[in-house]
């Protein structure tokens, strides 16, 4: 299934067909060039389908495009960002 990832303020999210939130990743700025990923949520029926990773990758893409660094705070982001060298360039 293909999901449309939207951005609003300091989060990326996915809604279902009636605009209910079904997944999100949130962050805040610790300074003008550093974002802290503080929360990831995926609804029960989407768990294990790679949706959280899609949101994380979208956040990483955003950080790269803006030349931001990322500090992972939530457990999912800590695990995923540290398990692969493909994220090394954005980690602070």
Length of the chain: 92
pTM score? 0.94
Q: CA-to-CA distance for 69 and 51, rounded, in angstroms?
A: 22
Mean pLDDT within 23-31 = 98
* Exposure string over 14-36, b if 16+ CB within 10 A, otherwise e: beeeeeeebbbbbbeeeeeeebb
Q: What is the pLDDT of residue 13?
A: 98
Q: Which residue stretches of the chain are H helix?
A: 51-66, 75-83
Residue carrying the six token digits 């982001």: 77
Q: What is the pLDDT of residue 2?
A: 84
Q: CA-to-CA distance for 50 and 37, rounded, in angstroms?
A: 17
All domains of the chain in start order, with CATH: 6-87 (3.40.630.30)
């Amino acid at each position: 299934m293909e999901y449309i990832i939207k951005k609003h303020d300091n989060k990326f999210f996915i809604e279902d067909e009636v605009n209910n939130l079904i997944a999100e990743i949130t962050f805040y700025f610790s300074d003008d060039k550093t974002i802290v990923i503080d929360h990831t949520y995926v609804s029960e029926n989407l768990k294990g389908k790679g949706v959280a990773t899609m949101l994380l990758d979208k956040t990483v893409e955003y950080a790269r495009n803006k030349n931001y660094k990322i500090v992972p705070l939530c457990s999912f982001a800590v695990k995923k960002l540290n398990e692969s060298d493909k994220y090394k360039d954005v980690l602070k």
